[in-house]
Amino acid sequence: MKRVATTFVLIFIAWLVLTLSMNIEELVAGFIISLSITVICRHLLSRDTPRVILHPVRWMWFIVYLGFMLCAEVRAHCSVAMAVLTGRIRPAMVEVPVRFRTQLGKTLLGNSITLTPGTLTVDARHDKRFYVHALVYKKGTDMGKSFHMFGLRVIK
């Protein structure tokens, strides 16, 4: 019951932040929608969801993740724009090692890769690696060095 209540409260707070309104109609709509989402998704919650979600260190790491993701998004948008404008598209399949132990970590990694322009997680069935399609790969350039720096292997 505690995990369902925590989830409801967090969804309702997200509603309030996104709407930025204290209008009674929007509060009632937010309450109903938050309750509906909580009831529909209650089977997805684990026993330690409230402990994990409310842990301050996890919030700090989430903010760090958002900073890295924002930088990666900007760089990827620029890279894809340049590739499209110049016509220099060099696709490659890249093997990405997965160091996460939990399904949530693996899911977040796969989604983060797919959300980044120019990359797509193609195969995530393996426990130890993902296969990612990269739109632009140049061997011997900064991008190639960064692939190797992070332990990624290019598959042609």
HSE value, Cβ hemisphere, 13 Å, CA-based, for 29: 10
Correct CATH for 56-155 of 2.40.300, 1.25.40, 3.30.70, 1.10.760: 3.30.70
Return the pLDDT at 139.
Answer: 65
Q: Which whole number is the average pLDDT over 63-74?
A: 90
Counting other chains too, the contacts that 111-120 makes at CB distance below 8 Å and 24 or more residues apart are 112/69, 112/72, 115/69, 115/73, 116/69, 116/72, 116/73, 116/76, 117/73, 117/76, 117/77, 117/79, 117/80, 118/76, 118/79, 118/80, 118/83, 119/76
Q: Which of 37-41, 48-52, 101-105, 142-146 has the lowest mean pLDDT?
A: 142-146
Q: Which whole number is the average pLDDT over 14-27?
A: 91
Q: What value does the mean pLDDT of the chain take?
A: 80
52: nearest Cα among 126, 102, 121:
102
Choice between 156 and 28, residue whose per-residue pLDDT is larger: 28
pLDDT higher than 90, residue 125 = no
Domain boundaries of the chain, sorted by first residue: 2-52, 56-155
